[in-house]
């Protein structure tokens, strides 16, 4: 039995290339028969579009369009067009984060005001803005999943500003869950273990984070992006119908360990 019902429509935010966690989620949704609307962050030379189109070969979307989630009008227009193309909007996947390099590579107390605001806007407000739009089209209820990391809960050296953003993101998930529940819409986060992607390559000491994860995690296998995508699909699906406002760790158990 398919965990997701056939003929559902999903918006997936955060495909940058074939290694993006959003791409692994989109592929699995596609294999379950879900129609997809994908947005991406455009650049002036059109390079990002080419990388996104290559990634999308594995999950041909019904609708593909640039959308800067920090621009209110673009967000509104994207969701409106996505809804028209999909016919129904049942799932939203938010796999988006950004912080300026200089503000992620410095100590937290050295973060600039501008960098802080930009990181919070891209990594947290983008969820709020997209949930507001998505929920207005989820007339039959729906399910939303965002992606977080353990650095929201405990200090992970190097994760710094992004840890502050992820704490705010997880808190937003809880507050949004309370407001969305009466509308029949669930929202949860998957706290993924460290995986090599474009976003994670910006994090200082990322290779030590990966090494620690592989050494300390109770499950000694290597964490795969597909593992994270499976958790996202579970939370989206009706099998998780009694779960909302939750953070589901998908990290081979790394988060339960004390450093050793």
Ligand X SMILES: NC(=O)c1ccc[n+]([C@@H]2O[C@H](COP(=O)([O-])OP(=O)(O)OC[C@H]3O[C@@H](n4cnc5c(N)ncnc54)[C@H](O)[C@@H]3O)[C@@H](O)[C@H]2O)c1
Query: Contact positions toward ligand X, by CB under 6 A?
Result: 14-16, 20-22, 41, 68-70, 95-98, 122, 126, 147-149, 192, 194-195, 197-200
The nearest distance, CB 87 to ligand X, in angstroms, is 24
Residues classed as catalytic: 149, 159
Residue closer to ligand X by CB (options 88, 128) is 128
The nearest distance, CB 69 to ligand X, in angstroms, is 4
Q: Which two tokens stand for residue 144?
A: 């939303």
Residue closer to ligand X by CB (options 120, 243) is 120
Give the separation between CA 250 and CA 245, rounded to whole angstroms.
16
The nearest distance, CB 214 to ligand X, in angstroms, is 13
**CB neighbour list of residue 178: distance below 8 Å, 6 or more residues apart:** 245
Give the separation between CA 144 and CA 173, rounded to whole angstroms.
10
The secondary structure of the chain as a DSSP string is: --SS-TT-EEEEE---STTSHHHHHHHHHHHTT-EEEEEE---TTSHHHHHHHHHHTTS--SEEEE--TT-HHHHHHHHHHHHHHHS---EEEE------HHHHSS-GGG--HHHHHHHHIIIIIHHHHHHHHHHHH-TT-EEEEEEE-GGGTS--TTTHHHHHHHHHHHHHHHHHHHHHGGGTEEEEEEEEPP---TTGGGSTTHHHHHHHHHHH-SS-SPP-HHHHHHHHHHHHSGGGTT--S-EEEESTTGGGPPP-
Give the separation between CA 248 and CA 233, rounded to whole angstroms.
12
């Amino acid at each position: 039995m398919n965990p997701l019902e056939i003929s559902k429509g999903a918006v997936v935010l955060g495909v940058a290339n074939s290694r993006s966690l959003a791409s692994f989620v989109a592929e699995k949704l596609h294999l379950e028969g879900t129609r997809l609307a994908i947005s991406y962050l455009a650049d002036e030379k059109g390079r990002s579009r080419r990388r996104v189109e290559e990634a999308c070969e594995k999950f041909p979307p019904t609708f593909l369009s640039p959308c800067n989630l920090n621009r209110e009008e673009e967000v509104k227009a994207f969701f409106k067009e996505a809804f028209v193309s999909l016919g129904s909007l049942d799932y939203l996947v938010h796999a988006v984060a950004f912080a300026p390099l200089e503000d992620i590579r410095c100590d937290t107390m050295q973060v600039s005001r501008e960098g802080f605001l930009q990181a919070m806007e891209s990594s947290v407000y983008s969820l709020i803005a997209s949930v507001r739009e998505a929920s207005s089209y989820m007339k039959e209820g729906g399910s939303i999943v965002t992606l977080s990391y353990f650095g929201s809960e405990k200090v992970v050296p190097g994760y710094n500003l992004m840890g502050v953003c992820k704490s705010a993101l997880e808190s937003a998930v809880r507050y949004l869950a309370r407001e969305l529940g009466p509308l029949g819409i669930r929202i949860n986060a998957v706290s993924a273990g460290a995986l090599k992607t474009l976003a994670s390559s910006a994090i200082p000491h990322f290779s030590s984070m990966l090494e620690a994860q592989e050494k300390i995690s109770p499950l000694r296998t290597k964490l795969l992006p597909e593992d994270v995508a499976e958790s996202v699909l579970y939370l989206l699906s009706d099998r998780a119908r009694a779960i909302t406002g939750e953070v589901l760790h998908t990290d081979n158990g790394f988060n339960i360990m004390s450093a050793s």
